[in-house]
Amino acid sequence: MSRAACFSRPLLLAAILSATSFGPALASAIKIAQPPYQPDSGDLALRCGALIDGIADRPLRDRLVIIRGGKIHSVAPSGDAPTDLPLLELPHHTCLPGLIDTHTHLADSGIDSRDVLDTLTPEQQLPLSRANARTTLMAGFTGARDLGSYLAFGVNGIRDRVDRGLEVGPRIQTAGFYLTIPGGGGDTIVPGRAPETIPAVLRAGVARGPEAFAQRTRDAIAGGADVIKLIASGAVLAYGGVPGAPEMTRAEIAAVVEVAHAAGIKVAAHAHGAESIKDAILAGADTIEHASLADAEAIRLAAGRGVAFSMDIYNGDYIADVGRKEGWPEEFVRKGDETTEAQRRVFSAAVTAGVPLIYGTDSAVYPHGWNARQFRYAVARGQAPMDAIKSATSVAARYMGWQDKTGAIRPGLLGDLIAVEGDPLADIRRLERVDLVVKGGLVFKWQER
CA distance linking residue 177 with residue 216, whole number of Å: 9
* Distance (Å, whole) CA 94 – CA 114: 41
Per-residue pLDDT of 3-57, as tens digits, reads 222 222 222 223 223 223 333 334 346 789 999 999 999 999 999 999 999 999 9
pTM for the full model?
0.91
More confident residue, 166 or 447: 166
Q: Does residue 348 carry a pLDDT above 50?
A: yes
Is residue 290 scored above 60 in pLDDT? yes
Q: In whole angstroms, what separates CA 402 from the centre of its chain?
A: 13
| Among the ranges given (126-135, 195-204, 392-401), the one the predictor scored with the smallest mean pLDDT | 195-204
pLDDT score of 436 more than 50: yes
Could you please state the CATH topology (level 3) that the domain comprising 99-400 is classified under: TIM Barrel (3.20.20)
What is the structure's pLDDT at 110? 64
Q: Predicted confidence band at 256 (pLDDT cuts at 50, 70, 90)? A: very high
DSSP-assigned states of every residue in 216-259: HHHHHHHTT-SSEEEE-B--SSSSSS-TT-B-S-HHHHHHHHHH
Residues pairing with 47 in the sheet: 64, 89
Sketch the domain layout of the chain as residue ranges.
37-97+410-446, 99-400
Residue 139 has pLDDT above 90, yes or no: yes
* Proportion of the chain above pLDDT 90, given as a percent: 70
Contact 129, 121 (CB under 8 A): no
Mean pLDDT of the chain: 89
Q: Do domains 37-97+410-446 and 99-400 have the same CATH topology?
A: no
Report the topology of domain 37-97+410-446: Urease, subunit C; domain 1 (2.30.40)
pLDDT band, residue 240 (cuts 50/70/90): confident
Helix (H) or strand (E) holding 64: strand 60-68
Task: Say whether 428 sits in a helix, a strand or coil.
Answer: helix
Average pLDDT on 100-104 reads 97
CA separation, residue 168 to residues 147, 427, 438 (Å): 19, 29, 12
pLDDT of residue 219: 96
State mean pLDDT over 394-404: 98
Question: 312 or 336, which is more confident?
Answer: 312
Residues of the chain with pLDDT > 70: what percent? 91
As a three-state string, the secondary structure of 69-106 is CCEEEEEEECCCCCCCCCEEEEEEEEEEECEEEEEECC
3-class secondary structure, 445: strand
> What is the rounded distance in angstroms from the CA atom of residue 342 to the CA atom of residue 336?
10
What is the per-residue pLDDT for 322? Answer: 85
> Tens digit of pLDDT for each residue in 349-362?
999 999 999 999 98
